[in-house]
Each structure stands twice: as structure tokens, then as C-alpha cells.
Structure 1
Amino acid sequence: MVNNILQKLTILSAVLILILTASIGNAYEDVGVSVSIKGNVNYANKKKANLLAEKQAIISYLKRINPSAVKKACAKQLVDSRALLIRNISRKSVSKIGDYMEASYVVCIDDKKFNNRLEELGCDAQTGVTKVTILIMEEPPTKANISMILNPEDSTGVRKLRGLGPFAVFYTSYQRSIRDTIISKANQEGIKLTSLDKFEEFQKMKRSNDDPLVGVYFDVDSEDFVINKSLLKFVRSRFAAQTTIVLYYRIKSLYFDQVTRELKADIAISLYNLNSGETKSVGSQDFMVIVPEGQASVAIRDGLAEVASNAASLLMNKAKEQIRRIITTTQIPKTQPVIVTVHLNSKRTMYKVKKNLKPDMISHSEIKDGSLILNLAKGIQADDFVYGELLDVLEGMGIKIPESNIRLNGQEVIIQQ
């Protein structure tokens, strides 16, 4: 009977890990495009439309992740490499309108291959007009949110562990696991994160031989997590002269119950602009597995590292979009105004949007050629306006704009309903 239960728990654990790992490894993005071909709906024109949709999807995706590369030679090379970068394409509609055949498609792009190719061509997002450095660091976890019932006398599940047990002892191994997972996931998305322990000049800041230099360490005297203030001060002085973003991760909660055998971690990520002092929260993500009964504490230790790093990996799916927005914003010349063009289905709706926007964020607005044209006021950043003001106004009117319909291209932003 006991063996059967253990076997079922093991299978359940394996299934959970398999399902969640599959979602972690997903590096594909769908791009919606519409094309127009002069002529009737026939096989030859469908073939032309299919080819045009592939090319258009590559350029549209490039505009999203690195608009400064659109007019470079690498854009053509990416289009030429589309057979390797496109996973599949599906036609959603086709119709004859006037003298033209119009068709819409969803093109599935392999994000990892796309960004690897960008890097090979020297056109990745962080090598635009302004070089952007992204550091990875940690914010201290909340000790009260770490609960691990591992002592035999606590096996009833009603008392907390006395102290932090193996989590404190093996804390640096968790830090390395989470850090390395985030870096690996970011690399898949074409984002280069910099680890401080790669710099020789930072080695003197280590609190122990295996300190991964993420800015937090466990102090055995105070039995608490402490910020390495001297390291933070050195980071500020070392990177003050360049555009630098700090990706902060935090172990929001960590939990193991010896009765239910649940092992769960919750990770939060935020982005801090070292130059402007702005912080953007990405959010949090949890990850849970069931640990089969009878496993040694070392297996639980490794499991804690696994759930924490997997939660971080899932969260990076959200973080990459925020990072790209910040990088794109840094490439905009500060002396030039940002122009936001909004394409909506109704001119009446555009007038309502124009009226409801905060006037101090806009220097000039007009409806021209069926579009709402907005010149942003001096000092207003494109991503702050779009994601902090415009989308809120649109959603308040019942209009939801998908991420794929938002284009940040230098000092120009285009939004399509």
C-alpha cells in the first residue's frame, strides 16, 4: 500500500515537472499580419500573400524588439533567414475587396532563434544608439515567508521550523541557481544580463568564497538576510556613466510541508533604472511540485533550488517585454519629441480618447488621415505614456489593444486597434 502511494506521488511529481518545464521552454511568439495582393483569390496570389506575410512578420517582430535595427542591413538578412526563424504560418481569413485579395495570418516566430540570429548579425537590442547594460541582483527575502518543516519533531505540520535550516546553510546555492536560470532565460530572448562576479574588480566585495555577488547574503550572527551596502555603493559608482538597468529578483516566499509534501516557491522581479531612479515591477510567479515521501533532505534542498529557479524562468516571459520597452526608450534621442499614432475603428472614439487624456502629457494632438496623432510633452517617455496612460483610457472605453499591435520605433509609436 505504502509503495503504491509512493509510486503515485513520484509519477505526479514527474508529471507536474514535465508539464511546467514544457511551458518554461516555450520560446515562440505569434505575430498577426494582414497583406493585400492585387488580383483575384487564386492559388498563385495566395502563395504571394503567404510569402509577403512571412516577410512582414519578420519586420514587425524586429520593430518590437529592436526598432533601431529596422533600417539596417541585418533586417534584410533576417528576412532572408525567415525559413529558420518561422516555426509555422496559418491563414485566418482571405477575401476579395475591390481589385485586391486581402488575407490575414498568424505567424509563429521562434523567439530564441530570432534573437540568436540578431546577436550574430550584431543587431541585438542592447547595441543600438545607446549601449545598455543590464545587471542581475537580489533583494533580500522576507524571513517570515520562509516556512520549511524538516525536523522530525515538527512532522505534524503544525509548527514552523526552528531557524531556517538548510535554506540558510545552502543559501548561496539557491542564489546561483536562480541567477543562472534568469540569465539563461534572458539569453534565449536575446537579452544579455551581466553577473557582477564576472568582474575582477568586484571580487573584493565577496562576503564568502562562494558569494555569487547578487547584493544579499545571510548573516549567521544576526540570522537574517542582509544587503551588501558596500557592493551597492560600488555598483552605483562603477556604472553611473552608462545606461544601466538592474534586474532585481526576490524570493517572495518559500514553503515546504512535510505532511502534504508540497514544495513551493514564489519569485518576484522588478527593474530599476540606475540613471533615472525609476523602478518598474514585473510581478511575481510561483512554482510547486510534490516531493515523494522518504526523500533525503538533500533532495529537498535541490528541490527548493529547482522550484525557485523555475518560478524565475516563468516570470522572465513577462520581464522580457518590460526590458525591451526600457531598452527601446533609451534609444530615443532626448531632443526629439515622441509621436504616438493611434489607429482606431471610429473617428468618434478617437475624439473621446483625445479628450480623456491628461493634457500635461501632450504638447499637440490632432486627428489626421483617419488617425489620432499625439505629440508627447517634453520629458514624457513613450512607454510611460502608452502603458501608464493611453492603454488605461482605451480599456476604460472597452478597447483592448494586444501587445502585438503596439509598435515602438525610435521616437515614433504606432498603435493599431
Structure 2
Amino acid sequence: MTTIKIGHAYEDVGVSVTIKGKRSFKAKKAAKMKAQKQAITNYLKRVSPAAVGSSCEKQLLDDRAVLIQRVTAQGFAQLDNAFEASYLVRIDDEKLNYRLEELGCGSQSGAAEVVMLIMEEPPTKGDIAMILNSADASGTRKLRGLGPFVIFYTSYQRAIRDSIIEGANREGLKLTRLDTISDFQRMKMSNDDPLVGVYFDNDTEEFAINRRLTSIVKNKFAAKNTIILYYRIASLYFDQVSRKLSVTLSISLHDLNSGETKSVGSQEFVSMIPEGQPGLAIRDGLADVASNAASLLMNRAKKEARRMSSMAQAKTRSVNPSTANVYVKLNSKRTMYNLKKKLSDNMVQNSRIDGENLVISLAAGVTSDEFVFERLLAVLEGMGINIPDKNIQFKESKCFIEQ
């Protein structure tokens, strides 16, 4: 049986940086480091905008040695008293997004939780066939070649579903399985129904949609930011003459709230079964090729999933621009009062000393991480106060800082 190993995914990010002074070895070294940091920031702006300027970004910048695979110089130029350098920075997509998820700053977290479900669009009988002999090579008679697929169809569904979920998890995305939610258990069409929304109807001899399931999914998740990842078996067959196994899968994503649907294309995978192998080898082989095609296709689907998730986050932030609060506890109330006077700018709505804390209410649209890392820490450092990272804690729209 031919197998495939799905390698680590990566993304190349082009950046240009400027360093004051003349071109030199030292300037090149500084430019390369600056380019690595800028590449990670640029990447975050696309996959998880809410993480930009936060403690998550700072941690990723500190971890850049394990997140960046390589840096390739593209060109250098001297502009008066400034040295400009361009680089192509290869980021380990899998490691960075997994790290984001660990830090709680993934594309599905932020202003609101984004739920991702995995479901199936039905194939047709013409898409799924088994050619039994050379006389049948031009077509498949009614159910003659379809029977084995009907019997084992849930095996293919599970293999595809598990492969897509594994690929998503490697990239820091979390997909929800409906069969793990108790409210949906009673909607199974059979004991081994994986609840992806499609089953084979023996009465009509057609692949059918579980309408009751899809209706309840829409009702239950309508109030949430929900993205449905749909896969479809565009073709699945075994040619007994050539002993070839082949599958073509397609994936699309649908935003349940906005109604936007985006296709990421299709992926084919082919393998061979030697003669003399038992029937179970064909079943398992088809499950394998379907699984491998799904893994390859997820390399494209992940980017679209993150884009939709980020857009859902941005929409939530614009609709609910809640006021963020920062709580600062310093060793001296007099110092907190002096800090209060230094923070009267357009990022701050009001501030007051409440008990042991200086409570800073931020202006509408200003996030706590944005204020802390772009303004507050710089002011504190100017006052001779350095706050260690472990003393900065974010919780939803609040931030707690202690000297």
C-alpha cells in the first residue's frame, strides 16, 4: 500500500526593514533580526489581529528561533544615511499557530469565541464506483459496484473527518465534532453514524442529507460566531482491472452568520493495491487515500478558516466595543497618582485610585493589550519602574499589573 507523509506546513513572508547608518556586517545582522520580528508581526496581523501588540506577540517574538525555519536575503540598498534590506522569512505555520493556541491568542479566541464545525456535502452514486471487470470499465450497473462503498461508507467518513481534524489541530485550529455533543446523539441514522450530516438512504438508494440534524445545527449555533467546514467526496473508486484506488475531495467553508461561502478547491490522491489482497485491504486502502487527500487539502483550508475567523472577531469588536480596564498596583500610592497624571491622553477615558489599585478605563475601541504595550509600559519605564512579564495578566477585557 502506498502511503504519504504530510510534512510541516510553512508560509513565506516578505519584509523590508530599514537600519540607520551605513551597510556593514553589524547592520546586516541587525536588519536580519528586525526582519524576523516584523515577519511574525505581519503574519499575526492576518491570522490573529487581536494578538498584535499583546503579550502573546511578545512571547512569539521571544520564541522566534523555533518558529522561523529560514531567512533568505532578497536585496540591499543604501539610501543616504539608512540601510534598507529585504528578506523572505519562512515561518513554521504549524508551530506558530499551535503556540498561539497554547497562549490563548488563536484566531478562534479574542473578542468572541469562534466555533468551527465539520460536516459533509453529499456525493452522488456516479461519484462513487467500483469497476468489477473490464466489461464494466465504461460504467457501473445499479448498486453492483456501489454496494461495498455503502457498507463501509461510515469508515471513509470517519477517516476523512479524523484526518481533517488532525490537520486542523496541527495548525492551532479547533474543530467541533457533533457526535461528541450529547444533544445531537439522538439524531444518528445508525449506531456508527459520525454525524457529519450525510448518510446512505437504502430506500431511495441515494446519498441523503440528515435534514433534521442540519436544521438543529443552524438553530443551535445561529447566535454564535460559527464556521462550518464542509468536505465532499468528489470521486471515490477502485478499478479492479488496474488495481488503482483513487479519491478526489473538495472543501469549502461557510460562515453561518454572514452567509459567506468560500471554496478552497479539490485534491486528488491515488494509490495501488497489489493483486491477491483481501477485500478489507480495498476498504482500508480507500480510507487511507481519502485521509491523505484530506490532509493535503487542509494546507489550503487552514488559511481560509483563519481569515474567516479573524473577520468574525473584527465584526464582534466593531459591534461590541466594550470598555477595557487596566488595574495597576504599585508600591506607592503617590507613584500611582503621578502615573495617573501622565496618562491623560486619547487612549484613556478616565482613571482613579481605588483601594490598592490605579484603575484605568480605556477609550472605546482601545484594547487593554494595545494600551499596555504601546503606552503604559513605556511611561512606567520612564518613571524607572520595570514590570516583569509574569506580573502582567490579561483576562478578557481586563489587565492586572503589579510592581
TM-score range, shorter chain: 0.7 to 0.9
CA 57–135 in structure 1, closer or farther in 2 if over 3 Å, else same: same
Q: Is the 8 A contact 2:129 2:145 kept in 1?
A: no
Q: CA deviation at 1:334?
A: 6.8
Tell me, yes or no, if structure 1 residue 147 matches structure 2 residue 129.
yes
1:157-168 matches, within 5 Å, as 157-158=137-138, 160=140, 162-168=144-150
Could you tell me which of 50, 58, 66 is aligned with 1:68? 50
SS in 1 for 2:241: coil
Tell me, yes or no, if structure 1 residue 283 matches structure 2 residue 265.
yes
Aligned counterparts of 2:64 and 2:217: Cα–Cα separation in 1: 40
Q: CA deviation at 1:80?
A: 0.5
SS in 1 for 2:50: helix
Q: CA deviation at 1:97?
A: 2.1
Q: CA deviation at 1:222?
A: 2.5
Aligned counterparts of 2:262 and 2:48: Cα–Cα separation in 1: 20
Letter in 1 for 2:96: F
Q: CA deviation at 1:323?
A: 1.3
Q: CA deviation at 1:147?
A: 1.7
Tell me, yes or no, if structure 1 residue 227 matches structure 2 residue 172.
no
Match of 2:312 in 1: 330
Tell me, yes or no, if structure 1 residue 274 matches structure 2 residue 256.
yes
Tell me, yes or no, if structure 1 residue 120 matches structure 2 residue 102.
yes
Q: CA deviation at 1:121?
A: 0.8
Match of 1:56 in 2: 38
Match of 2:25 in 1: 43
Aligned counterparts of 1:58 and 1:270: Cα–Cα separation in 2: 27
Letter in 2 for 1:64: R
Letter in 2 for 1:41: R
Letter in 2 for 1:160: T
Letter in 2 for 1:271: L
SS in 2 for 1:250: strand
CA 236–336 in structure 1, closer or farther in 2 if over 3 Å, else same: closer
Letter in 1 for 2:305: I
Q: Is the 8 A contact 1:154 1:160 kept in 2?
A: no
What do residues 354-384 of structure 1 show as CA deviations (whole Å, max 9, x unaligned)? Answer: xxxxxxxxxxxxxxxxxxxxxxxxxxxxxxx
Q: CA deviation at 1:231?
A: 0.9
CA 335–185 in structure 1, closer or farther in 2 if over 3 Å, else same: closer
Q: CA deviation at 1:335?
A: 8.9
Match of 1:108 in 2: 90
Taking only aligned residues, the RMSD between alpha carbons, in angstroms, comes to 1.9
What do residues 114-150 of structure 1 show as CA deviations (whole Å, max 9, x unaligned)? Answer: 0111111110110121211110001111111212124
Q: Is the 8 A contact 1:141 1:252 kept in 2?
A: yes
Q: Is the 8 A contact 2:18 2:84 kept in 1?
A: yes
Runs in 1 of length 4+ with deviation above 6 angstroms?
A: none
Q: Is the 8 A contact 1:57 1:107 kept in 2?
A: yes
Tell me, yes or no, if structure 1 residue 80 matches structure 2 residue 56.
no
CA 334–128 in structure 1, closer or farther in 2 if over 3 Å, else same: closer
Q: CA deviation at 1:192?
A: 1.0
Match of 1:212 in 2: 194
Tell me, yes or no, if structure 1 residue 133 matches structure 2 residue 89.
no
Letter in 1 for 2:296: L
Aligned counterparts of 1:74 and 1:334: Cα–Cα separation in 2: 20
SS in 2 for 1:332: helix
Aligned counterparts of 1:216 and 1:156: Cα–Cα separation in 2: 28
CA 235–334 in structure 1, closer or farther in 2 if over 3 Å, else same: closer
Please say which structure displays the higher CA radius of gyration. Answer: 2
Aligned counterparts of 2:253 and 2:64: Cα–Cα separation in 1: 32
Q: Is the 8 A contact 1:69 1:75 kept in 2?
A: yes
Match of 2:221 in 1: 239
Aligned counterparts of 1:284 and 1:228: Cα–Cα separation in 2: 24
Match of 1:380 in 2: none
Aligned counterparts of 1:25 and 1:221: Cα–Cα separation in 2: 43
Aligned counterparts of 1:180 and 1:171: Cα–Cα separation in 2: 14
Q: CA deviation at 1:87?
A: 1.3
1:9-20 matches, within 5 Å, as 14=2, 17=3
Q: Is the 8 A contact 1:132 1:327 kept in 2?
A: yes
Q: Is the 8 A contact 1:172 1:212 kept in 2?
A: yes
What do residues 268-325 of structure 1 show as CA deviations (whole Å, max 9, x unaligned)? Answer: 1111222233322222111111222222221111111111121122111221222122
Letter in 1 for 2:218: R
SS in 1 for 2:314: coil
Tell me, yes or no, if structure 1 residue 249 matches structure 2 residue 231.
yes
Q: CA deviation at 1:264?
A: 0.9
CA 54–304 in structure 1, closer or farther in 2 if over 3 Å, else same: same
SS in 1 for 2:53: coil
Could you tell me which of 150, 158, 161 is aligned with 1:176? 158
**TM-score w.r.t. length of structure 1:** 0.72
What do residues 188-233 of structure 1 show as CA deviations (whole Å, max 9, x unaligned)? Answer: 2221111101101111111111110101111223222111111112
Q: CA deviation at 1:95?
A: 2.6
Aligned counterparts of 1:282 and 1:276: Cα–Cα separation in 2: 18
CA 334–192 in structure 1, closer or farther in 2 if over 3 Å, else same: closer
Match of 2:383 in 1: none
CA 138–335 in structure 1, closer or farther in 2 if over 3 Å, else same: closer
SS in 2 for 1:170: helix
Identity of counterpart residues, as a percentage? 58
CA 159–322 in structure 1, closer or farther in 2 if over 3 Å, else same: closer
Match of 1:351 in 2: none
**Count of equivalent residues:** 317
What do residues 62-84 of structure 1 show as CA deviations (whole Å, max 9, x unaligned)? Answer: 11110111021111011001111
Listed as ranges, the gaps of 5+ residues in structure 1 are 1-12, 338-417
CA 146–190 in structure 1, closer or farther in 2 if over 3 Å, else same: same
